[in-house]
Amino acid sequence: MNSFQAIITIGLLVTATTGLVVYITNSRRAANRFFFFLSFVLTGWFACLGAGSMAATPERMAFWIRQSSLVAALIPSAFALLLLSIVHRNDPFLRTFVRARRWLLCYATIAVLCQTDFFLQSAHAPLPPRIVPVPEYGPGFLLYAGYFLGTFFVLATRFLRFFRTLTGMDRTELQFMLLGACAGMGTGITFLLLPVLTDNSDAVQFLPFSALVLNTVLAYGIATRRVMDVSVMLRRATAYALLAAYLTLLYLGVWFLATYAFGRVWPNPDPIARVLATVAVALSLVPANGLLQRVANRLFVNVQELDAKATLQRAHEILTSIGTLDSVLGDFSRLVAKAMGTDRIVVLLGDQQDFVQAYPPVHDAPLRLEARDGIIEVLQQHHEPLVPDFVQRVERSQRINDAAKRLQAMSIAAAVGIYSKSRLDGMLLLGPRLSGRIYAAAEQETLDLLCRQLAVALENAKLYTQLQDSKIYHEILLDNLVSGVAAATADGRISVFNREAQRITRLSAADVMGRPIRVLPEPLARTLELTLERQLGVRDQEMIISRETDEDTPVRVGSSVFHGHRGRLLGALVVFHDVDALRRLEMQVRRTDRLASVGTLAAGMAHEIKNPLVTVKTFTQLLPERYDDPDFRDTFSSLIGQEVKRIDTIVSQLLGFSRPAKPKLAPGSLHEVLDASLNLVAQQLRQNGIRLERNYGADTDLVQLDADQLNQAFINLLLNAIEAMSGGGCLTVETRLARPDTYRAAWQNGDALPRIRVTIRDTGEGIPHENLARIFDPFFTTKTQGTGLGLSVAHGIIQEHGGTIDVESEASQGTSFLITFPLAGKEAAV
């Protein structure tokens, strides 16, 4: 086997293999089928050339030259069929043959011509050193050559016409056909001109390589899964060709100089010259590569290649800046649109089950894709860009094909998933490029990297947006609260001061924000300072905000500290609300309740007053008759004085109870107040047949109290118990020392103080469970003639004394009211 036959064998194997591979890649696509047909024609041409080179007689040589010419004449028609299958991609397979009928008719004419002596007269064996048979063509060869020139002109015209109208992958495949044709023709012309220039015909045997170049370039352009743009390929090929030429010249130059320099002093300078040349090439490779890449870019200055590095760097700057979701998506989309050369960018983000258009913002009818949409499913499963132009090049599943068709129907040229922790959170949809070029491999890789960066930025933007929304929400919430709120940082600077706080304190936010706690009114400032110092909050503390030019404002205050997620103290806040209006309402309620209680007590006291009056009446009736009786006068005079004093005491107690007064707390005996209250209801107890049990188990009973106010509270509780035992029963009043309420006591004096607990227990009907939470509400009552104010007033009075009240009740078992009071300071040491 000579060198020509070896080249033929290589060409035959390569064309057959590439044709079969391209066909298998997507056997249903017309372009793949017609490329297989073109490869089959080239394979047949190689086979005929090989058979002709091995022919032993002139007749056999002539026969195979005719057959190789016949098959070669089919190459333009096969090329035209491939072109038509790309331009009319939706045509049926046989329809393409109909469109190429003129090509096939011309080929049939040339095929007949190739079998005549008019085309080829004879052939003979080559003279050494030639290895290719020598044909002797007749006049018909001019027609054969004219056929090739004519088909070349027609194909060139068609290329120009289609190139102006096609875009996307169709245009790219057309470019690769043109590149393959030019590369193949250039290779063939080179091997034809070399014998003329060098006077050596051996180069002609390499002519079949032109078909290999054509076949290889076409295979890449038609069947490669992620094809490179033609302009990018040419620029890179030019850069690498320049690099190879430069390194070759550098190697030869260094080798020649080293050989010349060391030849005078070294007997065999070739090894060291080769080493130096290799080192020079190695050291020059990297800088030369960068330089020649820039040279190639200047040669292709009109071709706008994606600068992936600069785009990714700019995207990093945009996505690492803090902004809202809308601003991040806007800046990112504009960057991608500029880098990719498109005027349409749509970003969809996951919204529960669906994916909804987030950019550009549309309020009326945003683009929405359901979670079961084919596009969503493909992106979730494959984690790679979905480009419809590339889907058709490789045989894919029906789901991917349907998704690609859906994108084409939406005029979308590429869909790239936005993934977060392997979960599809959104997608980037891009319209066709304005230049008509495709989203090639480089663009797809860059888009994939950009979307990975965007996924991280979206998480940050969502958090920032939530933070901003939360800030606005809390600012609105704080400003519309009916309670004042003031907060301070850990270093004692005011950080929050809402609208109600400004109204209550008569201070503006500008006078307070960022300043020390001491700018607040003294009670609030002291509360915040102690809360920060002790890191312990308070609740339900009655305080007075004093003013020199206006009335004092009573407020109810609570405070708390707050920490970061790692437990570090962040600051403290105080919540307070104006209770001045509430105090006025409570006073009105108490006056109303006091009058109701007076009526109840008056009915019971009528009997107590009537008994002394009977004595007085009897004395006045008998006095005229027995005036002269000294014993009578002395006895009744003393008795009347006692009875009048008794009436005076009863009336004084009743007046003291009914007279409203501002509570004034002072140390006093709680047991004495209880006894006074029990004395006032003694008559009601007797009338209802209720037994009274007193058990004062507390060793000390000194508390800060207002006797009149506290008496009213106990009277209300006692009357409530009496009414619950209309059929008789047992009323128990007991006291004992209770465990300290450290939460409240810590605020009062910094130390835990003991408390005294009063229990008022009856054996009445009990309170239904559903009413327990409402018994202290004003005007809530289950009695037909009740006012619903008694327990509410009692609750308020007890709270004013720093006490607490709770209730325990079971149906048909009775009710217990549990009241606790803090003992006065003197008793705390006991």
Provide the token pair at 169. 């992958």
What local confidence, expressed as pLDDT, does residue 749 receive? 36
State yes or no: pLDDT of 1 exceeds 70: no
Burial string for 560-576 (b: 16+ CB within 10 Å, else e) reads: ebeeeeeeeeebbbbbb
Q: Is the pLDDT of residue 750 over 50?
A: no
Longest CA–CA span in the chain (Å) reads 189
In the predicted model, is pLDDT for residue 598 greater than 80? no
Half-sphere exposure of 695 (CA within 13 A, CB side): 10
- What secondary structure letter does DSSP report for 516? B
Q: 327, 337, 747: which is closest to 530 by C-alpha?
A: 747
- pLDDT for 109 equals 93
Helices (H), 519-566: 522-534
Q: What share of the chain is helix, strand, coil (3-state, %, to 5)?
A: 60, 15, 25
Tokens matching residue 525: 């400032």
94 class by beta-carbon count within 10 Å (0-12 exposed, 13-18 middle, 19+ buried): exposed
By mean pLDDT, which of 311-315, 666-670, 746-750 is the weakest?
Answer: 746-750
- Give the full edge-to-edge strand order of the sheet including 414-420: 368-369, 354-359, 345-351, 423-430, 414-420
Most confident of 113-122, 132-141, 460-469: 113-122
Please give the average per-residue pLDDT across 25-50, as a whole number: 90
Q: Are 355 and 368 in contact (CB under 8 A)?
A: yes
pLDDT digits (tens, 9 = 90+) for 636-645: 777 777 778 7
How far, CA to CA in Å, does 349 sit from each of 114, 419, 422, 532, 534? 65, 11, 15, 44, 48
Question: What is the pLDDT at residue 443?
Answer: 87
d(CA 760, CA 718): 8
Nearest to 664 by CA among 708, 607, 694: 708
pTM over 0.85: no
Residue 336: closest CA among 358, 319, 311, 313: 311
Q: What is the pLDDT of residue 516?
A: 93
Q: What is the pLDDT averaged over residues 193-220?
A: 76
pLDDT digits (tens, 9 = 90+) for 226-283: 777 777 777 777 778 888 888 888 888 888 888 888 877 777 888 888 888 899 888 8
- Does the pLDDT at position 617 exceed 70? yes
Average confidence (pLDDT) over 155-179: 84
Domains, in order of start, for the chain:
3-224 (1.20.1070.10), 242-295 (no CATH), 308-470 (3.30.450.40), 481-574 (3.30.450.20), 579-660 (1.10.287), 664-830 (3.30.565.10)
- In terms of Cα–Cα distance, which of 729, 796, 783 is closest to 582? 796
CA–CA distance, 558 with 310 (Å, rounded to integer)? 57
Reduced to 3 states (helix: H, G, I; strand: E, B; else coil), residue 650 is helix
Task: Transcribe 764-812 into DSSP letters.
Answer: SS---GGGGGGTTSTT---SSS--S-HHHHHHHHHHHTT-EEEEEEETT
pLDDT score recorded for residue 673: 93
Q: Which one of 170-179, 339-348, 547-556, 588-597 scores highest in mean pLDDT?
A: 339-348
pLDDT surpassing 60 at residue 567: yes
pLDDT for 778 equals 59
Q: Looking at residue 746, what is its pLDDT?
A: 34
Q: Is 1 exposed, middle or buried (0-12, 13-18, 19+ CB in 10 A)?
A: exposed
**Residue 803 confidence class, pLDDT cut points 50, 70, 90:** confident
360 preceded by cis ω (within 30°)?
yes
pLDDT at 612 over 80: no
pLDDT interval class at 830 (50, 70, 90): very low
Question: How crowded is the C-beta side of 399, counted as CA atoms within 13 Å?
Answer: 11
Q: Which of 46-50, 106-110, 320-324 is the least confident region? A: 320-324
Q: Which pLDDT score, from 0 to 100, does residue 696 have?
A: 93
Asked if the model's pLDDT at residue 829 lies above 60, the reply is no
Is the per-residue pLDDT at 652 higher than 80?
no
What percentage of the chain reaches a pLDDT higher than 70? 86
pLDDT at 747: 39
Instruction: Count helices and strands (H / E) in the chain.
Output: 27, 19
Q: List CB contacts of 221: < 8 A, sequence separation 6 or more.
A: 172, 173, 175, 176, 177, 179, 180, 227, 230
State how far the Cα of 482 lies from the Cα of 784, in Å rounded to an integer. 35
Q: CA nearest 223: which of 75, 29, 379, 367? A: 29
Q: CA-to-CA distance for 475 and 499, rounded, in angstroms?
A: 10
CA distance 739 to 321: 57
The closest alpha carbon to 42, from 208, 181, 206, belongs to 208
Sign of the torsion angle spanned by Cα atoms 823, 824, 825, 830: negative
Q: What is the pLDDT of residue 300?
A: 55
Residue range 711-749, pLDDT digits in tens? 888 998 998 889 888 888 999 999 999 865 433 433 343
Three-state SS for 279-314 is HHHHHHHHHHHHHHHHHHHHHCCCCCCCCHHHHHHH
Question: Residue 365: pLDDT band by 50, 70, 90 thresholds?
Answer: confident
> What was the pLDDT predicted at 744?
42
